Chains A and B, each alone.
Chain A
Amino acid sequence: MLKKILTTASVILITANSYAAGFQTISNADWDEGAVRRVLHAFAYGGQTNEKMIIKLAKMSPKAAIKKMLTFGKSNGNISKRAKIDAARLSKKTNGSLRGLGEFWSSDHSDNDVAENKRYKYSVALGTNVRPAELWLRATVSHGLNPFRQKVGIWETNYHMAVNLKSSVNAQQMLTYYDDVVKSLGNTKRAYDKTLTIAGTSAAVAEHYGHRNNVYKNYLCLCNEDFAREYFQLFFGILGDEDPDYHEEITIKNTAKALTDMKIEYVSGQGRVDHVTFGTEFHTPGTLDILYSLNKGRNALKRIKKLSKVAMYYHESRDNLPVIIISGLADDNLSDADIAQIRAAWSSMKTKNLLSFLRAYAISTQFHNASRVKYLTSIDRRMLIYTQFILNNAEIDRYYLPAYLREEQAYPFEPVHNVFGGQTGKEAANSSDIFRAHYNSVTEKNYVFVKVAGSGNDTWRKDWASVLSKKLSIKYEVDKIGEFLWDRFIGDGLKNYATLERAYVNSLLASGKDLAYAIDANDLDRIFTTNELETDVNLISLLEDFASTKMALKSKDDKERQAANRNIGLAVSFILGTPYLFAREGR
């Protein structure tokens, strides 16, 4: 109840004490390392930065820090740093688009760290088997790029304005769609309706919905009204509830007429091209009554540009679109007061700009409130695991990034609900199938996490010391490393890292064995309660020994170093198997 009162009050205070898009900004005192991690986990799969940078960002004001953290640039060293051993500065070698990255990763460039026998996966050349998902996955986990850009990019193209490679959309069209949308978002002064226009007039959307075939001939619209409906509903949140008959019989019908003569040329050997040619010959002439406005334009592009501006400021869009954005990206538990505040914040923006809105939200009291809950989708979960577990770009090829995504119906660019988007966090959290598949992936198939050295002539070694501060971990003390790992993968400021969790993690880090095994090899099925871990003197003593053990991460003995890194892999497996991986809270 107190929270409700506070949030309601903060709505009233918006104009008097506000930042950017109008949310109530978190105080400097509350902006701490935990707050920085919450932003990174919500918007950047945890980020790929180090402890020092997190401390540095936490020491800034929230407004200053968020401007450094959330950008749509091709790279952002504040949240994703290139590892020392990585050869290529991807941000220098490419323009940061999936197509640009693909050209580099599939090339023979001397700095390309993609294994030669895997470069084919990143080809973007016409006529080759282009794999947008592989490109996106690698771009997301690559150090030295910008995971926030990819997080919002996948949401825009796979959820908010989803199209599907399993429809007739081809990979070139999909790449262009993704890159054009993200590029548009990167123009920080551009109004959001322009990005929605770019999406709405793209070849991918015209192909998916089929309105590339819509023509106006002999005073008849030979059209389907699929996108005419979803343009309003999905892109803008306009449902036509105020006057359903007008919406159905006027707005949707006439929007179908506006979406005419949008040809996509077919090129032999390549398929349909990745752009639309906006014609006039078969385009509906004259003025069209759409959304209580008069829509004019010689072709579909001109009409949709005008219509997007109208739609963006239509009252249903003002109410619904910002809620779609926040619930899609950050909160599955919005209260009425939260929604009212989101709407007020959006309405306060004269020019609707997504980046400004997200920045303001990410440092708002609402975002950092304990009532906020976001369940992770399978993509969120897998990307979180890989961004945190892969320590440098040279390691990427050692992990199979698409693992489990197809089985969990969460493969990028193939949204399970088609234009209604991919698997949601709530869906993932409601499925014991997904829980089970994940549980088995970190137990039965945990070789991924305990692999610490290459075989034969392969000199690769897993090196957690490369990302651990010797000073902050007190010379690699088990208890500190456990906390580091928990915060790295769970990001809750150790809120849920209680006695039980700490006991299991420390046992694995110190001994490489589970707690029961470490205590008595003949009583492997023993269950420990928090109470006995906190009161049994023998257990307390053992756990203290574990906690103070120093890990040999810098040992000169290769086998000792491998064993220490393997123990970290075991501890990570355990952490990933706890319930706390599946959701993120506001505080």
Chain B
Amino acid sequence: MKRRNFIKSTLVSSALYGVGGFSLFNQIAHASVGGFPTLGSRVLVDLMLHGGPNLRHLMPPPYESDPNSFGYRYWQENAQAHNLSDDPTAWEQRWENDYYHLTDGTTAFGLLKEATWLKTMWDQGFLAIVNNVIGSNSRDHSYCQMIKDQGNVNAGRNDSGNPGWGGKLAYVTDGNVLALTSSPRNFCFGPNPNNLSQRSNANVISAADTRTMRLYHPSAGKEKTYAGRIARSLRAYYAAKREEIASDSIYKRFTDMESKSRKFGDAIDDRLSQFPIPSNIEGLYTAGSSNVLNNRGLGKQIRNLYDSLAVNDIVNLRAASLAMGGWDTHKDQKSTIEKNFSDLFGTNKAFDALSQNLPAIVRQNSVLLIGGEFGRQLKANGNNGTDHGRGTSFLVIGDSVNGGIYGNMYPEAELARLDDNSPDITGLTEYDHIFAPICDWIAPNSGSMIFPNQTAATLETGVDLTQLFI
């Protein structure tokens, strides 16, 4: 089935064509600001935090002195995960010294002081915190990662071959997902046109190193070198082979990769050769630099993201996929997780450095979604860490985001469950309600196509995520 037929097969096809959704984006001329190409379409940047991040560590409740209060019990039960003693004075000092004290007017919360860029986003109204989110009742990493990447809370354990929601978004918008990780996440793969429940590589471009995207071909004067002979042999061979290979051959994906690499590689390399890497982005992954990240792989991904935005017109960019590990904090949570938060949100670190180098119009047309496959339990374990829990929070960040708190950040009902064996955050809002509005913002009316079960998905009472964007 072709993309058009896929669209037609959905209930909302008339709405989509009625407003001329995608064609509008395609008509936007590719201009540039200071040499940086503006976006031909809005872009989703999806950052997966592998391991199940404890976002309460980033955004804890204010310390309170009442032993029955949420703010007291949180610090009491999580003191070890913050490397604190049993002394409430230490908890209070920690709260006072290490967290910004923020509020949306109704809910007061803390924000780890390492997360300076995130505070700026909050202050500017660009940060939405969506709470009590859930994808599955399982606490199995790989299964829950699959569910999140597919955006399908009904996916079974054996559905790993199904497409991801980023790939679906690219498919229905006739664009591409750039996979900026070492290998593409499930998120990136769109549907196979011949079997929509299966996935395809057609809308994915792997870009783990955006600065080396071309296939080798000998330069002038080197045609007859040994390298030149083989490169020429293979180029001619693939040119014939891709026309002759059976469409259902298991090797076709490799002839497609050759074709795609040849199509995009030279163009990307040529474009980026005109684009020096900004020094503070290069610093993110350069040992010894003043802003090098603890996780230099993330730094490389940020460079890749910068480059992807710079070649967005060449690759018809709709979504970019990033990932960061190190969030499975069963032990030594404080030292591990705070390095991660610093890498992501610190001054001149990952997203701060990136933002500094993007024109405002690019920032206005992109949205950053950050979250993991599940959350953590409500109490620290005996190893200064926290174990797997189901409910979690997501961060949605962007100049066009309607910042604020969505969902009860600190449900009092949790207090009654603290003595359970494995207490965790109760998931009330399923993925569909966050991801679909993001898709709609990228391409109007695409959300209900990609998340057809949204109406059946659970949503926390009083939460309205249709207002996620301004």
List residues of A whose CB falls within 8 A of some B CB: 209-211, 213-215, 220-226, 229, 233, 239, 241, 244, 248-250, 252-253, 373, 408-409, 416, 418, 420, 423, 427-436, 439-440, 442-447, 450, 496, 500-501, 504, 507-508, 512-517, 521, 524-530, 566, 570, 573-574, 577-580, 582-583, 585
Q: How near does chain B come to A208, taking the closest CB pair, in angstroms? A: 10
Whether A431 contacts B422 by the Cβ 8 Å rule is: no
Q: How near does chain A come to B137, taking the closest CB pair, in angstroms? A: 6
Asked if B286 CB lies within 8 Å of chain A CBs, one says no
Q: How near does chain B come to A420, taking the closest CB pair, in angstroms? A: 6
Contact of B261 among A252, A409, A435, A566 (CB under 8 A): A435
Asked if B168 CB lies within 8 Å of chain A CBs, one says no
Q: List 29 A-B contacts (CB under 8 A).
A: A209-B330, A222-B382, A223-B382, A244-B138, A409-B182, A427-B183, A431-B182, A431-B208, A432-B206, A433-B182, A434-B206, A435-B261, A436-B206, A436-B212, A436-B261, A443-B215, A443-B231, A500-B241, A500-B244, A514-B236, A517-B232, A529-B240, A529-B244, A573-B226, A577-B230, A579-B245, A579-B258, A582-B251, A583-B251
Q: Chain A residues with Cβ under 8 A from B233's Cβ?
A: 504, 507-508, 514-515, 574, 577
Contacts A248-B421, A249-B422 supplied; 17 other A-B pairs, CB < 8 Å: A224-B385, A226-B328, A229-B388, A409-B182, A430-B206, A432-B204, A433-B208, A433-B209, A443-B230, A446-B227, A450-B226, A508-B233, A525-B235, A573-B226, A579-B254, A582-B251, A583-B250
Interface residues of B in 176-221 (CB under 8 A from A): 179, 182-184, 189, 201, 204-209, 212-216
Chain B, residues 250-284, CB within 8 Å of chain A (1/0): the string is 11111101101100010000000000000000000
Whether A224 contacts B183 by the Cβ 8 Å rule is: no
CA distance A504 to B231 in the complex (A): 12
CA distance A221 to B261 in the complex (A): 54
Closest to B245 in A: A579
Q: Chain B residues with Cβ under 8 A from A423's Cβ?
A: 182-183
Asked if B287 CB lies within 8 Å of chain A CBs, one says no
Whether B331 contacts A444 by the Cβ 8 Å rule is: no
Q: Using A430-B184, A514-B232 as known contacts, say yes or no to A444 and B216 having CB atoms under 8 A apart.
A: yes
Q: How near does chain A come to B292, taking the closest CB pair, in angstroms? A: 17
Interface residues of B in 360-392 (CB under 8 A from A): 381-383, 385, 387-388
Whether B227 contacts A224 by the Cβ 8 Å rule is: no
Whether A574 contacts B234 by the Cβ 8 Å rule is: yes
Closest to B259 in A: A432
Contact of A224 among B253, B257, B381 (CB under 8 A): B381
Q: Chain A residues with Cβ under 8 A from B208's Cβ?
A: 431, 433
Q: Chain A residues with Cβ under 8 A from B183's Cβ?
A: 409, 416, 423, 427-428, 430-431, 433-434
Whether A435 contacts B387 by the Cβ 8 Å rule is: no
Q: Chain B residues with Cβ under 8 A from A250's Cβ?
A: 421
Q: Chain B residues with Cβ under 8 A from A577's Cβ?
A: 230, 233-234, 237
Q: Chain B residues with Cβ under 8 A from A450's Cβ?
A: 226
Asked if B229 CB lies within 8 Å of chain A CBs, one says yes
Chain B, residues 323-336, CB within 8 Å of chain A (1/0): the string is 00100101110000
Asked if B141 CB lies within 8 Å of chain A CBs, one says yes
CA distance A440 to B140 in the complex (A): 38
Contact of A210 among B157, B253, B383 (CB under 8 A): B383
Closest to A418 in B: B325
Closest to A445 in B: B227
CA distance A530 to B420 in the complex (A): 69
Asked if B87 CB lies within 8 Å of chain A CBs, one says no
Closest to B222 in A: A444
Report the interface size for chain B: residues with CB under 8 A from the other chain. 69
Closest to A430 in B: B184
Asked if B19 CB lies within 8 Å of chain A CBs, one says no
Contact of B141 among A222, A420, A431, A526 (CB under 8 A): A420
Whether B226 contacts A446 by the Cβ 8 Å rule is: yes
Contact of A524 among B223, B227, B261 (CB under 8 A): B223
Whether B227 contacts A443 by the Cβ 8 Å rule is: yes
Q: Chain A residues with Cβ under 8 A from B189's Cβ?
A: 430
Q: Using A224-B383, A224-B385, A248-B421 as known contacts, say yes or no to A435 and B257 having CB atoms under 8 A apart.
A: yes
Whether B387 contacts A570 by the Cβ 8 Å rule is: no
Q: Chain A residues with Cβ under 8 A from B3's Cβ?
A: none
Contact of A431 among B206, B224, B383 (CB under 8 A): B206
Whether B251 contacts A527 by the Cβ 8 Å rule is: no
A-B pairs, 10 with minimum CB distance: A222-B382, A579-B254, A444-B216, A249-B421, A409-B182, A226-B330, A224-B330, A514-B233, A579-B251, A224-B383
Contact of B383 among A214, A249, A446 (CB under 8 A): A214
Whether B206 contacts A580 by the Cβ 8 Å rule is: no
CA distance A435 to B179 in the complex (A): 14
Asked if B139 CB lies within 8 Å of chain A CBs, one says yes
Whether A239 contacts B382 by the Cβ 8 Å rule is: no
CA distance A425 to B258 in the complex (A): 18
Contact of B236 among A241, A442, A527 (CB under 8 A): A527
Asked if B142 CB lies within 8 Å of chain A CBs, one says yes
Q: How near does chain B come to A250, taking the closest CB pair, in angstroms? A: 8
Q: Using A221-B382, A500-B240, A514-B230 as known contacts, say yes or no to A439 and B215 having CB atoms under 8 A apart.
A: yes
Whether B240 contacts A527 by the Cβ 8 Å rule is: yes
CA distance A528 to B234 in the complex (A): 11
Q: Chain B residues with Cβ under 8 A from A429's Cβ?
A: 253-254
Q: Chain B residues with Cβ under 8 A from A447's Cβ?
A: 226-227
Closest to A496 in B: B251
